[in-house]
Structure 1
């Protein structure tokens, strides 16, 4: 049994650590790219104080990119996952060629309203606009906003590059900015309790995102 444990440590555990390091490096590179884009926008913005553009590190596993009324939250998952065998990706020839390629690190990107974070509105919703999966060969697959997904090649032909990092962040920013808000129905906010008035003044009548056109299925 000891030999089996050691074998597992030398194979799967070592592989997961390697993928984690790749994903951590990518996460840090995405943050650096976000800073570069932020600085370019700030340099060209005519009235920067009103537009509220900037990148903020929260901790080792999270940073935020605020752009006007929207904030993208990037979250690094510390654990490495293996794709289910019945998933469409697992059935591809590329992943079938090597079982180790089915292990991925994950970076999640959520879209929150900037006011949600500013006013600490704990009941407000965030929308998962994208999930980035990275394997041991540093090739990635993006699941999320449909028009972004189709701007990148299939997994086997999609190594991460500086150009793709920038393109991904720019497209995520455009996706958040283009997704408009809808106010709640009049009937839903017609009557409130005094407790709601005291506790939730800043979020009363809070609008919701129309909804992103998400895509997480196999492409024909």
Structure 2
């Protein structure tokens, strides 16, 4: 038929879609695999760290003062340090930085914008009692996040992560030693990040339902900075 030799409508768009699948989608999958590999290394470090710390604490302090590691699944791990819990959570998506981010001033990123696509591992701090007493309204705080790209280059944003700023991105692949330093910086910050008495005006009113719930399950909302402003540059 005469129409058989006519190019299909939208053929150019189809080729564009195929090319995107071959390049960008493959890139994102590669970054996901890298991030998952690093997260596996992070889990191993956490587990070994808890064992070593507990060995050194044994017989020297209250038995309740210890580290407990828990694997919470493929994309999550937990480390309890006495009254604090750190949740390490790998996001299953890959991200690009917003255009206003300072990362775009980095020379490595300027060379190839695909270098700025990253997987993310978030680290949150919660009170151990929030989980123990099932206080679902309690707040946790993002204390660090690790960005990993296609070349295993990394950057860390967070508390006391002063040696992993944007200008270091592209200068070295992440290693177990670097992961250990990130973890230790996060632990140190968390242990110094005290639970503050909330301002009087933020807790002076309580509903009957809240009080009944508190009596039953100790569920009045609690957080280390409840009632205070928590800023990204707090140290």
**TM-score scaled by structure 1?**
0.88
Higher mean alpha-carbon deviation, 150-159 vs 89-98, is at 150-159
Match of 1:82 in 2: 96
Structure 1: stretches of 5+ with no match in the other structure: none
Alignment match of 1:144 (pick from 140, 143, 158): 158
Q: Which has the larger radius of gyration?
A: 2
Higher mean alpha-carbon deviation, 33-42 vs 199-208, is at 199-208
Match of 2:37 in 1: 25
CA distance in structure 2 between the partners assigned to 1:76 and 1:151 by the alignment: 19
Size of the alignment, in residue pairs? 215
Alignment match of 2:85 (pick from 47, 67, 71): 71
Query: Cα 1:121–1:131, aligned 2, differ >3 Å: closer, same or farther?
Result: same
Higher mean alpha-carbon deviation, 44-53 vs 205-214, is at 205-214
CA distance in structure 2 between the partners assigned to 1:54 and 1:139 by the alignment: 30
Alignment match of 2:232 (pick from 205, 214, 217): 214
CA distance in structure 1 between the partners assigned to 2:107 and 2:229 by the alignment: 34
* CA deviations over 1:38-58 (Å, ceiling 9, x no partner): 001111113463114111111
Alignment match of 2:169 (pick from 145, 150, 155): 155
For residue 195 of structure 1, give the secondary structure of its aligned residue in structure 2: helix
TM-fit CA distance, 1:10 = 0.8
For residue 55 of structure 1, give the secondary structure of its aligned residue in structure 2: strand
The answer to which structure has the higher strand fraction is 1
Query: Cα 1:190–1:138, aligned 2, differ >3 Å: closer, same or farther?
Result: same
CA distance in structure 1 between the partners assigned to 2:143 and 2:125 by the alignment: 6
* CA deviations over 1:84-142 (Å, ceiling 9, x no partner): 23321022221010121011001111100111111111111111101111111101000
Higher mean alpha-carbon deviation, 207-216 vs 129-138, is at 207-216
Q: Are residue 91 (structure 1) and residue 109 (structure 2) matched?
A: no
Q: For the Cα contact (< 8 Å) 1:131–1:143, is it kept in 2?
A: yes
Q: Are residue 57 (structure 1) and residue 75 (structure 2) matched?
A: no
CA distance in structure 2 between the partners assigned to 1:179 and 1:212 by the alignment: 11
TM-fit CA distance, 1:18 = 0.4
**TM-score scaled by structure 2?**
0.83
Match of 2:28 in 1: 16
Match of 1:104 in 2: 118
Q: CA RMSD in A?
A: 2.2
